[in-house]
Amino acid sequence: MLSIKNLHATVHGKEILQGVDLEIGAGEVHAIMGPNGSGKSTLSYVLSGREGYEVTEGEVVYNGKNLLELEVHERAAEGIFLAFQYPVEIPGVSSMNFLRTSLNSIRRYRGEEEISAVDFLKLVRATAKSLEMDDKLLQRPVNVGFSGGEKKRNEVLQMSLLEPSLAVLDETDSGLDIDALKAVADGVNALRAPDRSSLVITHYQRLLSYIVPDFVHVLADGKIAASGDKELALELEKNGYAMLGLEDTEAA
C-alpha cells in the first residue's frame, strides 16, 4: 500500500528526515513512536504534501502511484487522511459546509455522485453519535472554540466520514480523557479492514492497547531507529528510548 524508501526532507533548508524507510501493507496498523522533534509530524506532512516540506531524496509509492507528484487534495482523494496533531481553527467557515465540500470533492474526484444535503446530514449525525461527539459543535465554524479533546474528536469524525485507505494519526491521543481516548480508538478500529491501513503516531503505549498495532517503529533523528511488534512499545514504555541508545526526552 505505502512504500517509503530513503526519504529525505528539509524544512526551511534544515534536513529533518534523513533517510526514512517504511513499508506499510494493506490492512496493517503501524505505530510510530520517537522523541520530540525527531520528525514524526514532518513525516506526516510530507506524506500529505504540505507546502514548505521539501523532499530532497527518496521516493514514496502509494498504491502504485508516485505520491510525491500529487497535489495535497489529490492525495486526500486517493485515500490519505492526516489527523492533525494541532487541528486548525478556521473562523468564518462553517463546519457543515466544510465537511460537505470535503466529502463531495473526494466523491467527485473518484467519479462518484455527490451526496445530497439530507443524506449528508443523516451521515454526519450518525457518525458524530458513534463517536459520542455533540453534534452542536458542528454548528460552529471549523474547530473554532473547540477544546483540545473536541478538536481531536473532530479529526476522527472527519476520518470516519471520508473513510480513508491510509489514515495517519498524529498524536490524536494526546490531551484526551479516558472516555475520549476510547471513542477515538473505536473510531479507528471501526475503519479497520483488509484494504485499509493506518499509521499511528503516539508517545504512549496507552493508545496502543486500544488500537493494537501490527508493527511499532521508533523514529529518531529523522530515521527509523528500531522496528518491532507491539512488544516494542511496551518495552519502550518501561525503559525509555535509552534502551535504544537514544537520549530519552520523554518523561514517560
Ligand X SMILES: Nc1ncnc2c1ncn2[C@@H]1O[C@H](COP(=O)(O)OP(=O)(O)OP(=O)(O)O)[C@@H](O)[C@H]1O
Note the residues at the interface with other proteins (CB under 8 A).
48-51, 71-73, 75-77, 81-82, 84, 87-93, 97-98, 101-103, 105-106, 109, 141-142, 158, 162
Cβ 12 to other proteins shortest distance, Å: 14
The one of ligand X, Mg ion, other proteins, none whose footprint includes residue 141, by CB under 5 to 8 A per kind, is other proteins
Give the integer Cα–Cα distance in Å for 105 and 92: 20
Residue nearest to Mg ion (CB): 41
Record the cell numbers describing residue 114, joined without a space.
455527490
C-alpha cell at 156: 476522527
* Binding flag, residue 42, Mg ion (CB under 5 A): no
Q: Count the Cβ atoms, other than its own, within 10 Å of residue 101.
A: 12
The number of helix segments (H) and strand segments (E) in the chain equals 8, 12
Find which of Mg ion, ligand X, other proteins, none residue 14 binds, CB within 5 to 8 Å per kind: ligand X
> In whole angstroms, how close is the CB of 203 to ligand X at the nearest point?
7
Instruction: Considering the complex, state which of residue 89 and residue 248 has its C-beta at the smaller distance from other proteins.
Output: 89
With cell 454526519, the residue in question is 124
Type of residue at 235: E
DSSP assignment string, 25-69: -TT-EEEEE--TTSSHHHHHHHHHT-TTEEEEEEEEEETTEEGGG
Three-state secondary-structure class, residue 198: strand
Instruction: Identify residues 75-114 at the interface with ligand X (CB under 6 A).
Output: 85
Distance of CA 137 to the CA centre of its chain: 22
Of residues 170 and 205, the one with the C-beta less far from other proteins: 170
Angle at 1 between CA 218 and CA 82, to 5 degrees: 65
Q: Which does 216 bind (CB under 5 to 8 A by kind): Mg ion, ligand X, other proteins, none?
A: none
E strands present in 79-123: 80-83, 90-94
Query: Sign (positive/negative) of CA torsion 180, 166, 39, 14?
Result: negative
Positions in 32-51 near ligand X (CB under 6 A):
34, 36-42
Q: How many CB atoms lie within 10 A of CB 109?
A: 13
Q: How many other CB atoms sit within 10 Å of the CB of residue 76?
A: 20
Q: Which is nearer to ligand X, 8 or 40 (CB)?
A: 40
Q: Least distance to ligand X from the beta carbon of 169, Å?
A: 12
Would you say 75 or 217 has its CB closer to other proteins? 75
Is residue 41 at the binding interface for Mg ion, with CB under 5 A as the rule? yes
Q: How far apart are CA 100 and CA 56, in angstroms?
A: 35
Residue 14 in contact with ligand X, rule: CB under 6 A: yes
12 touches, from Mg ion, ligand X, other proteins, none (C-beta below 5 to 8 Å by class): ligand X
Verify binding: residue 202, ligand X, rule CB under 6 A: no
Which residues contribute to the site for ligand X (CB under 6 A)? 11-12, 14, 16, 34, 36-42, 85
Q: Which residues bind Mg ion (CB under 5 A)?
A: 40-41, 85
